[in-house]
Amino acid sequence: MPDNIIIDAERMKYPHTGLYHFCLHLGKTLLQQQPANAATPAFYVPPGAVNLFGTNTPYRLQHSLHKFWLPFANQYAIWHSTFQGTNYFPAGSKAKIVLTVHDLNFLHEGKSPAKEQKYLKAVQRKIDRADAVVAISQFTKKELETHIQLKQKEVHVIYNGCNINTEVVAEKPATVPHTPFIFTIGTIAAKKNFHVLPRMLVNNQLSLVIAGINQSPEYRQKILDEAAQYGVGDRVFLPGAVTESEKYWYLQNCAAFTLPSLAEGFGLPIIEAMHFGKPLLLSTYTSVPEIGGDLASYFHSYEAADMSALALHTIEAHAANAEQHAQQLFERSQLFQWKNAADQYWQLYQQLLNKK
């Protein structure tokens, strides 16, 4: 029986997304943490991602026909499926499957009951076939326990790591507000709840930068309409997708970071902001409080007066004790490390390889 492993990094065909960075950072760290007696894992990637894990690493190229048949899957002892919604899943292969479940966000996006059931059944089929199931947060694990028939199958929780690379040099972006600003980043989509954020700017001089891929032009317009309604349109900026260097500049220079999401499986930008010691303004939904912990401020009301007051209080309280609070935030960010995640995944791989 083969003892080699393949990591599904097909989602890397979508740069500037959480799944892209999950695959990139986990993959690189798995190689760094590779046990001495283990075979080098292969990576299933789109053509544009070849060599991102090194020139001596084995690759398999993604092809759309693989949705129907993955002819090489039997050549591997373990197939690590890194996304519960993947269309590239070797259900009929002999390989043992590790399935990472990021979220069941479709349950929190206002979809019809019929669609929710459709998506749940798809996840259920993958769970049934998987030999090991990983959730990226305790919240996601609880969601699986509530909505999926696990049939006594254990769900392992392996947290993501902090994506910050200290070797990256921050670069000032083209879009820079003229007043102190609150920053957020993520796909421009309704589940991110970004349209409520302009309300924070009422009765103050703060600005807002919302960076990220424009998945929904309609939702982007809703954000701008909300800003105009509250008379703060000249202080709301949507620069689109930004580079890592530009993101680091925004994180280094913002007055606070915010994530008002309705649905998150983890919330990687939260720990990136923590790394830079930035005060946090977060929603109370899904996994967000689990990652933010007791160092963050939370929106309990989305009325403009309440949001504005919370933003000002959070920024002022941080400024009054900036050095100590920033250090506490940085230390919390260090609880989430890709090294720890890679070590836990290698332990899981070894357990499956040792099972006959």
**pTM strictly above 0.85:** yes
Half-sphere exposure of 196 (CA within 13 A, CB side): 23
Question: What integer is the mean pLDDT of 236-252?
Answer: 97
Rounded to whole angstroms, the Cα distance separating 162 from 105 reads: 22
pLDDT exceeds 50 at position 1: no
Per the CB < 8 A criterion, the answer to whether 106 and 115 are in contact is yes
Specify the residue for token string 């007043």.
179
Task: Name the strands in the sheet holding 78-81, side by side, starting at the edge strand that comes first in the sequence.
Answer: 59-61, 42-45, 5-8, 78-81, 96-101, 132-135, 155-157
For the chain, which domains are there? 5-161+337-354 (3.40.50.2000), 181-333 (3.40.50.2000)
Count other Cβ atoms within 10 Å, centred on residue 38: 16
Does residue 348 sit in helix, strand or coil?
helix
Question: What integer is the mean pLDDT of 187-199?
Answer: 96
Per-residue pLDDT band at 57 (split at 50, 70, 90): very high
pLDDT at residue number 355: 87
Q: Which residues of 224-248 are buried (b: 16+ CB within 10 A; e: fewer)?
A: eebbeebebeebbbbbebbebebbb
Q: Which of 262-266, 278-282, 294-298 has the lowest mean pLDDT?
A: 262-266
For the stretch 24-48, pLDDT in tens is 999 999 999 999 999 999 999 999 9
Per the CB < 8 A criterion, the answer to whether 251 and 242 are in contact is no
pLDDT at residue number 16: 86
Rounded to whole angstroms, the Cα distance separating 245 from 168 reads: 6
Does residue 308 sit in helix, strand or coil?
helix
pLDDT exceeds 70 at position 96: yes
- What's the token pair of residue 45? 């990637």
Rounded to whole angstroms, the Cα distance separating 159 from 136 reads: 5
- What's the token pair of residue 331? 């230390």
Rounded to whole angstroms, the Cα distance separating 115 from 190 reads: 17
In terms of C-beta density within 10 A (0-12 exposed, 13-18 middle, 19 or more buried), how is residue 222 classed? middle
Residue 93: which of 23, 6, 22 has the closest Cα?
6
Question: What integer is the mean pLDDT of 240-250?
Answer: 96
pLDDT at residue number 223: 98
- What's the token pair of residue 100? 């990472």
For the stretch 257-277, pLDDT in tens is 999 999 999 999 999 999 999
Residue 298: which of 254, 259, 353, 355 has the closest Cα?
259
Sequence-ordered strand ranges (E) for the chain: 5-8, 42-45, 59-61, 78-81, 96-101, 132-135, 155-157, 181-185, 207-211, 236-240, 256-259, 280-282, 297-298
Count other Cβ atoms within 10 Å, centred on residue 74: 14
Specify the residue for token string 């209080």.
313
pLDDT at residue number 2: 62
For the stretch 11-24, pLDDT in tens is 999 998 899 999 99
Count other Cβ atoms within 10 Å, centred on residue 263: 22
Rounded to whole angstroms, the Cα distance separating 135 from 130 reads: 13
- What's the token pair of residue 334? 């260090």
- What's the token pair of residue 212? 């990220």
Rounded to whole angstroms, the Cα distance separating 301 from 76 reads: 51
Question: What integer is the mean pLDDT of 202-219?
Answer: 96
Question: What integer is the mean pLDDT of 186-196?
Answer: 96
Helix H or strand E segment including 340: helix 338-354
